[in-house]
Amino acid sequence: MSGVASTGFGRFVSRNAAVLLARNTIVSCVVFLFDLGLLWLLVQSGGLGKLAAAAIAFIAANTLHYVFGRAWIFRGSERGIASGYAYFLINALIGLGVTIGLFAAFLEYTSVNYLVARTIVSVLAGLTVFYLNAIFNFRSV
């Protein structure tokens, strides 16, 4: 099957997709630490509600992620900076919906610490946003 990597599901399990996912994972870990630190700061020092603070921290971290994403993860993208950022934010908003929905469920239905809950939720939301960007924004897989 020589065309498997270029069409359908094969493009998600290609070497290219693996390299992009590895780079994305590195960047995601760095910006996620920033996200958690900002979340903690906004809740503990800023007195914001946990959900509002999570939303603000998520948007700030995703903006930082776009900078790293454009420069390293999906380098060589032909999409313009402004339109790429717009697509990135649209995808981030989808991720934000996943994040806030699952985060709210954890807060409501479990006794898990809010920082631990946010960490757990980030895995599903992060993979969702990565694939949306890889497919629709940077067209890299």
Q: Return the pLDDT at 49.
A: 95
Residue 5 contacts by C-beta under 8 Å, 6 or more apart in sequence? Answer: 11, 13, 14, 15, 16
Where exactly are the structural domains of the chain?
A: 4-137
Q: Return the pLDDT at 1.
A: 43
End-to-end C-alpha distance for the chain, whole angstroms: 17
Mean pLDDT, consecutive 10-residue stretches, the chain (141 aa), reads 51 83 93 94 95 89 91 88 91 88 94 91 87 87 64
0.75 surpassed by pTM: no
Q: Return the pLDDT at 9.
A: 64
Q: Return the pLDDT at 86.
A: 92
CB of 140 closer than 8 Å to CB of 16: yes
| C-alpha separations of 71 from 18, 32, 65, 119, 130 in Å | 18, 18, 10, 25, 15
